[in-house]
Each structure stands twice: as C-alpha cells, then as structure tokens.
Amino acid sequence: MKLNRYLLICACLFFSTSFAVSEREVIKRIDSINSLALSHYLNDDIVIAFNFYKESSRLSDSIRDAYGSAVAKYNLGKIFTNMQDYKDAEQSYLEMLKNAESIDDNYLIANSYLSLGRMYLDKKALEDVIPYYKKALKFALEEDVRDPNNNDKRNHVLFDIRLSLAQAYIKSNRLDEAFIYILRAQNNIAKIDSPNYYLRGTLSYTYGLYLFEKQSFNLANNKLIEASRYLKKCDRKAISVKCNLLLSEVYKKLSLSYASLNLKDEAYSALISHNEAREQFFNEVRIKQAQIAETKLSLANYKLEAESAIKEKIAQQ
C-alpha cells in the first residue's frame, strides 16, 4: 500500500515536472517568435510579422498563457490598424484587454485602453474617447506597474497617454488641463532612455499647439520650429510616414502663427515647407497603400489557408 502510494507520488511529480519543462520550452519558443516578429514588423515585413504573431497567439492560447496571448493580440491589433482593418483591430485590442485583466497586468491593461482610444479617435466624439485615455492613465499609474526593470516602458506609455490627453484637451479648448498633461509628459520623456525623434517632435508640436491657442505666438513659433528639427531627423522606415504627416501639420500651424504676427514672408516660407512635407507624405502614402493592398491580399490568403487547414483537421477526426 505504501509502495503504491510512493509510486503514485513519484508519477505525479514526474508528469508535473515534464509538463513544467514542456511549458517552459513553449514560453521560450513564444519569446523567440515575438523577437523575430518584432524585427520583421520594424522592417515593414508585415505579412511575415503577422504570421509570427498569429503563431505566438496560438501557442500562448494552447498553454493558457494569458500574458503571452495579450502581447500577441496587442501586436496583431497594431498590424490590423496599419492595414486599416479596424474591425479586427478592435477585436484584437478587446481580447488583449480581457487577457490582461485576467492576470491583473496593469501595464497591458493601460496599453489596451490607450490603443482603443487612439483607434476610436476618428470614429467617436472626443468626450467619448477621453474616458479611454483616463482609464489607461489610471492603470498605468498603479503601484505594481513600477517594475524597476521596465521603468523605461512605463514612462513611455505614460508619455503616450498624457500627450494624447493633452491633445484631446487642446481640441476641446480645455487649455489649463492640457498644460498640466504637457508638463507631465515632459517629465516622462526626460526619464526615457534615448527617446526617438518622433516622440520629441510630437511633444514640441503639442506644446506649440497649446501656445498657439493661448495666442503666445512667438513662444509657439519656437516650439514648432523645434518640432520641425526633430521630425526632419526621423530615420526609421516604419515611422517616416507619421513623421512627414506631422511635419506638414507643424509647418501649417507655424505659417498661421507667423501670419498672426503679420510676418508675411515667414508665413509664406512655412506654407511652402508645409506643401513639400505634405507632398512627401502623399508619395509615401501611395507606396504604403500599394503595400497595404498587397498585404491585405496575403493576409486574406493566410486566413483562407488557416480555415481550410482547420476544416481538414476536423474532417480527419
């Protein structure tokens, strides 16, 4: 009897250890796939990145790894957003939120709400979008988000949230609230290790918008010129379209600011720069649209192949 009990305990330990080893191997594989996917995503190899993230999502779901699944859904949501497939993007972000909430991961919950808010920006009224940013901020500020190993990531998401709130409040003419979030975003970017030029340019542009609305045109000009200098230095292929779009908006606002000071030559020069940046943006968009069309076709084919494989597997059972 004691021997049987001993053998049963040994068997349980063996199987639990084997499962743990197997699960660890799957998690290692997921991490490896995510690294490959990110590399391809940053190089605009969207279809390859998509396939890797789908595999990462599948593996995470297979071992009920809510964290891995949330990360995969987040990255899939970004890809769907870039493909202008907002229905699938929304679904991905909602699934991300569900997984993140199941493990109380405040950083991922914050990113979920921020992503949803940004996606709804062109679809809903500002008063309906701001609550998403507020929820994102609430979870990003939770004490257990403060992981010393991820402090850079935490400040990055806080910067994104606070700047999004500042821009929303500027549009709503709630300038005092906007200014508070600009200052707090400044504090966050100061803590980020080597923030890219797009982040710096976005902050300077937002500050310039605020000063323009306050009719402090000389100060607004300084911030807008600062923003243009940052954005001209954008060198990563994946964000060049965003940089040129924002650069065109910077010059447009700068032209209006100069005009408000009756500086006609400067206003005209800024307007020419606006048109040049806008033309560059549209050239990149045309290339991007062709890539999007090709990528959408590849993703559609991928989905059909996946559905066929599932049906075939079911038929064999």
Looking at the domain assignment, is residue 275 inside a domain?
yes
Looking at the domain assignment, is residue 251 inside a domain?
yes
Looking at the domain assignment, is residue 293 inside a domain?
yes
Contact 134, 87 (CB under 8 A): no
Domain holding 231: CATH number?
1.25.40
Give the closest residue to 197 by CA, choosing from 241, 160, 233, 149. Answer: 233
Looking at the domain assignment, is residue 180 inside a domain?
no
What is the chain's pLDDT, residue by residue, as a tens digit (317 residues)? 444 444 334 434 333 444 444 778 888 888 888 888 888 887 777 778 888 888 888 888 888 889 989 999 999 999 888 888 899 999 999 999 999 999 999 999 999 999 999 999 988 999 999 999 999 999 999 866 555 556 778 899 999 999 999 999 999 999 999 999 999 999 999 999 888 899 999 999 999 999 999 999 999 999 999 999 999 988 655 566 788 889 999 999 999 999 999 999 999 999 999 999 888 887 776 656 555 555 565 566 655 555 555 455 555 55
Looking at the domain assignment, is residue 259 inside a domain?
yes
Structure tokens at 110: 């914050």
Phi-psi region of 110 (alpha: psi -120 to 50; beta: other; left: phi over 0): alpha
Looking at the domain assignment, is residue 266 inside a domain?
yes
Q: Domain containing 227: what range?
A: 196-297
Whether the pTM exceeds 0.85: the reply is no
Let me know the angle formed at the C-alpha of 217 by 214 and 221, rounded to the nearest 5 degrees. Answer: 125
Provide the domain count of the chain.
1
Looking at the domain assignment, is residue 226 inside a domain?
yes
Structure tokens at 219: 């100060």
Contact 248, 272 (CB under 8 A): no
